[in-house]
């Protein structure tokens, strides 16, 4: 069921958005050559405890997951792009790291992700991150009352298509509210003026993710981490966005 939020409820969602943004900012600052992925998860877990928030991931067990996730954030490195299960891995110079984090504050959820390069960057990785960020911004720009879901999806897909990237539609954005994943689904490819009408009070996570040279995924042995089928690297960006009469509000905006 698709739920619409009142202006008062959207205001109540702001603390969760700010907290998720603060955690991602702290993780971005912490990520460096020599840092273990488990250290990043530990930092996020500490911030959750200190804030009195709740993790959306640690007990998460959807049908596609091998078991309850068990960690509080996703850390996807290089050819991994989604659902990366934090494990005993020390970040290396040149790694492309995507971090996805969702938490609940006062019963309201926000969800956001970013990609970054650890140490020395490869120009092609920087370009991929920029394309993904541009796609996110294009999608958010279409998140206005009177448009349809296809307008968001088409804007995201157009950025990737111009860049020569293939687009996987198995995973995309989603509704956000009292739970992390709700209706509607927000694909990263679509046709303009098609799909669910965008209405005031709709809150969604918009999350483009792309791989360098493929749209095919394989599941890692941990039962969670999704990697490119050809070993190419991936990037992921995400914000929780409220659609209002005055335009989109990015609840997870980072300073």
Residue 8 annotated as binding site: no
Residue 111 annotated as binding site: yes
The answer to whether the CB of 103 falls within 8 A of the CB of 53 is yes
Query: What is the rounded CA–CA span in Å between residue 233 and residue 32?
Result: 18
Using DSSP's 3-state secondary structure scheme, residue 172 falls into: coil
Strand ranges for 72-150 from DSSP E? 74-77, 80-82, 96-105, 108-117
The answer to whether the CB of 3 falls within 8 A of the CB of 175 is yes
Residue 174 annotated as binding site: yes
Cα dihedral 17, 23, 29, 34, rounded to 10, equals -140
Query: What is the rounded CA–CA span in Å between residue 233 and residue 211?
Result: 6
The answer to whether the CB of 156 falls within 8 A of the CB of 136 is yes
Query: Which pair of tokens denotes residue 39?
Result: 């250290």
Residue 212 annotated as binding site: no
Query: What is the rounded CA–CA span in Å between residue 131 and residue 236?
Result: 10
Residue 87 annotated as binding site: no
Count of beta carbons in the 10 Å neighbourhood of residue 105: 21
Residue 239 annotated as binding site: no
The answer to whether the CB of 139 falls within 8 A of the CB of 206 is yes
**What number of CA atoms fall less than 13 Å from residue 225's CA on the CB side?**
22
Residue 236 annotated as binding site: no
In the annotated binding site for substrate, the residues are 83, 181
- Residue numbers in the known binding site are 83, 100, 111, 174, 181, 207, 238
Per the annotation, where are the binding residues for a divalent metal cation? 100, 111, 174, 207, 238
């Amino acid at each position: 069921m698709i739920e619409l939020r009142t202006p008062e409820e959207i205001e109540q969602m702001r603390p969760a958005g700010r907290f998720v943004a603060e955690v991602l900012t702290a993780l971005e600052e912490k990520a460096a050559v020599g840092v273990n992925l488990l250290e990043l998860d530990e930092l996020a877990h500490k911030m959750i405890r200190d804030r009195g928030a709740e993790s959306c991931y640690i007990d998460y067990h959807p049908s596609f997951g091998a078991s309850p996730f068990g960690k509080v954030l996703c850390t996807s490195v290089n050819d991994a792009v989604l659902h990366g299960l934090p494990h005993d891995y020390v970040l290396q110079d040149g790694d492309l790291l995507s971090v996805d984090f969702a938490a609940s504050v006062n019963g309201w959820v926000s969800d956001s992700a970013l990609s970054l390069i650890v140490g020395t960057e490869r120009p092609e990785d920087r370009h991929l991150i920029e394309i993904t960020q541009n796609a996110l911004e294009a999608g958010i720009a279409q998140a206005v009352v009177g448009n349809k879901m296809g307008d968001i999806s088409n804007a995201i897909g157009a950025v990737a298509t111009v860049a020569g990237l293939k687009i996987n539609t198995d995973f995309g954005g989603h509704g956000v509210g009292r739970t992390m994943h709700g209706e509607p689904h927000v694909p990263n490819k679509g046709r303009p003026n098609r799909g669910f009408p965008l209405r005031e009070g709709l809150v969604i996570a918009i999350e483009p993710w792309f791989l360098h040279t493929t749209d095919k995924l394989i599941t890692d042995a941990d039962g969670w981490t999704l990697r490119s089928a050809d070993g190419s690297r991936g990037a992921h960006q995400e914000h929780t966005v409220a659609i209002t009469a005055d335009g989109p509000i990015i609840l997870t905006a980072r300073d």
